[in-house]
Amino acid sequence: MLLPLFRFDTHTLLEKGSTPSGYRFDEVLYLDMIAEDLQNAAVSLLADNPDKMPQTDDASAQFMNAFSSVLISYTNRGILATAKWRGNTVGRISSGDYIENGFALWADSYDNQSEADRAAHKAVPIQVALTLAGSLESVVITVNVRV
């Protein structure tokens, strides 16, 4: 199956629906876009706070709020959706838990940060769990007629 990738005035470029490794092309593209938008949100937050971002749980909350804004836009576009998490444990999320709106964010407390990371002025890692909405590639319609 070929999916339209770009539309120009006189040409339509087509891309296969799957990559050679079997991943869906649109999912790879959207995951790249999400990663870039999250990175831009982090840099923007740092740039908007030129004085200092403290090594506190409040700073983690600011990052997670910025990331939530990015991710809810992908939910609204139909890229992320509420679904069952089928991956490994991420923070407080275990396999079988439902992820509302297609994403969940988690960061450990700075109280649990190692002395070495604190001395190196590192932020605690923020983990993001995503559930993609997927996309339809075929539809089966059954028509039952009773005469």
Check: CB of residue 128 under 8 Å from CB of residue 38. yes
What confidence tens digit (pLDDT) does each residue in 72-127 have? 999 999 999 999 999 898 888 999 999 999 999 999 999 999 999 999 999 999 99
pLDDT tens for 3-36 read 555 555 565 555 557 777 878 888 888 999 999 9
Amino acid making up residue 118 = R
d(CA 60, CA 67): 10
Residue type at position 117:
D
Sequential DSSP letters for 33-83? HHHHHHHHHHHHHHHH--S---SSHHHHHHHHHHHHHHHHHHHHTTSB--E
Residue 85: CB partners within 8 Å, gap ≥ 6? Answer: 93, 94, 95, 96, 97, 98, 99, 104, 129, 131
> Would the pLDDT of 67 be above 80?
yes
pLDDT for position 10: 61
Cross-strand partners of 106: 127
